[in-house]
Structure formats: C-alpha cells, structure tokens
Structure 1
Amino acid sequence: MIQTPANKYMATSIQTATPAQLLIMLVDGAIRFCRAGIKGIQDGRFEDANTQLVKAQNIISEFVITLDRTSPLADNLLQLYEYFNHLLIQANIKKTTEPAEEVLQYLIELKETWIQAARLAAASQTEVSHG
C-alpha cells in the first residue's frame, strides 16, 4: 500500500491514541458508515448501502468483542450493541433508512457521552499525577 501523508498521519494517530481516543475514532467511523449507508439507500445504491452498513456493523461487533464484561454497564451496553446491529440488519434487508437513522442518533449520543467520560478520566489522571 502506498503511504500518503494522510495514511501516515492516520497510522500515527492510531498508534499513539489512548483507549478512549480509539473508542471515539471507532464510533466516528460507525457514524460515517451509517450516514453513507443511509445515503446509499436514499439514492437507490443498495450495494453501496450494504457495504457501508456492514462496515458500521463490524465496528459495533468490535465494541461487543472488546467490552469489559466486569463493568457494571457491560450488560446494558451489550444489549444496546446487539440492538444496533439488529436495526442495521433490518435497514439493509428492508432497504429502509429509519432503522439506520435510529442507530445513527444513538451513536452520536454515545460519542458525546464517551468524549465527556474521556475528559473526566483525563482530568482525574491529571489530579492524581499532580496531587
């Protein structure tokens, strides 16, 4: 693969990211793929829509695989992720945008929550190291 400056930047960003930053990068990808899948359905480009929705499902499946099962939130997050994948499959099978739009809204909300959590974690780390 040819290493463009953008590819090198992305590789470096991923290699130096914290787990919280990686999670946010992944949810950004899921949001982007979800939007592209919705657009594909709207435009009647069902093969493109399928490709994009499957990419979003793959990211959500990665969330399931990497979920810390010891966390008190694990069961609720697992149910939420399974629901997301169910909706994306429905959007893909029925060629309708509503289920994917619902997932998109949840992903946007989750991203905001994770950004806030990452900020709080970083602030508490700073306090511990400087305290």
Structure 2
Amino acid sequence: MTAMRGAAAYGRGAGAYARVGVESGVMSASPHQLIVMLFDGALSSIRAARIHMQAGSVAEKGRAISKALDIVNNGLLAALDTEKGGEIAERLGSLYDYVVRLLLAANLHDDQESLDQAERLLEDIASAWREIGSAGAQD
C-alpha cells in the first residue's frame, strides 16, 4: 500500500513538474513560438486520438479529439488577426474551420481518413510556421 501511495505521489509530482516546464516554456516563448506550440499540441492530440480509435477506446478518443478541437478553435483560430493578416488570415480561418469539421467527423464516425486529413493539413501549416521561425532566427 505504501509503494502504491509513493507511486501516486511520484506521478503527481512528475505531472506538476511537467506543467511547470510547459508553463515556463509558454511564458518565455515568442508569439511565433506559441503558435508552433499550439500546432504541436493539436498534432499530438490527433495522434493520441488515432491510437485510441484503433484500440477502440471511445472515451479516450473523444477526449483527445476534444483537446485538438479546443486548440484549433480557441488557439489557432482565435489567434488570427484578419485586420493585419488580411486574405491570408481569412484563408487560414477557412482551413481551420475545415479541420474542425474533419475532427468532428472523425469523432462521430470513427473515421480515420478524416483524422489523417486533419493531421496532414495541420502538419503542412505547422511546417511552414517552423520554416518562418528558422528563417527569422537566421536574420
């Protein structure tokens, strides 16, 4: 019983340590790095959803897709500035809306192809963001 409590305490401590690491990363990140972190989080959630979908873990799949939806809607989509970004921001907004529809379809119908397509689209945009960041770092 004591070993179980020790393991639980260790797990809580490790989780708290990870949260502090993430929070520290967020606090010190540039706006560009924050967007990259949002993409990474959404992609990680989609990959987790795929694993849960394949394992038949409906609740876990739903939680992972929900997390990806939250990141796309309340992170990536909310960060768009259509005044400054103009047409590019509007097109990204449409693309994010489409990704949301794909994720909803994947969750509702256990549709792996929709999940795969959402991942590919986000990965393409994330890749472009990463390239922009590395080009800016070289200046």
- Superposition TM-score, scaled by structure 1 size: 0.87
* Ranges in structure 2 where 5+ consecutive residues have no aligned partner: 1-11
Larger RCO, structure (CA 8 Å, separation 6 or more): 1
Q: Deviations over 1:23-78 (max 9, x none)?
A: 11111010000011111111111111010001001000021111011213011101
Alignment RMSD (CA, Å):
1.6
Q: Which amino acid aligns with 1:98?
A: E
**Deviation for aligned residue 1:4:** 4.0
SS of residue matched to 2:82? coil
Deviates more, 1:85-94 or 1:114-123: 114-123
Of the two, which has the highest radius of gyration? 2
Percent of matched pairs sharing the same residue: 26
Q: Measure, in 1, the Cα distance between the counterparts of 2:123 and 2:91.
A: 17
2:40 maps to which of 13, 28, 36:
28
1:129 corresponds to: none
1:128 corresponds to: none
* Ranges in structure 1 where 5+ consecutive residues have no aligned partner: 125-131
Q: Are 1:67 and 2:67 counterparts?
A: no
Q: Which amino acid aligns with 2:77?
A: V
Q: Which amino acid aligns with 1:60?
A: V
1:47 corresponds to: 59
1:93 maps to which of 108, 131, 134:
108
Q: How many residues align?
A: 124
2:99 corresponds to: 84
1:104 maps to which of 104, 119, 126:
119
- Superposition TM-score, scaled by structure 2 size: 0.82
Q: Are 1:12 and 2:24 counterparts?
A: yes
Structure with more of its chain in helix, by fraction:
2
Q: Which amino acid aligns with 1:50?
A: G
CA shift in 2, pair 1:107/1:74, >3 Å: same
Q: Measure, in 1, the Cα distance between the counterparts of 2:117 and 2:80.
A: 22
Q: Measure, in 1, the Cα distance between the counterparts of 2:18 and 2:47.
A: 22
Q: Deviations over 1:68-89 (max 9, x none)?
A: 1121301110100000000000
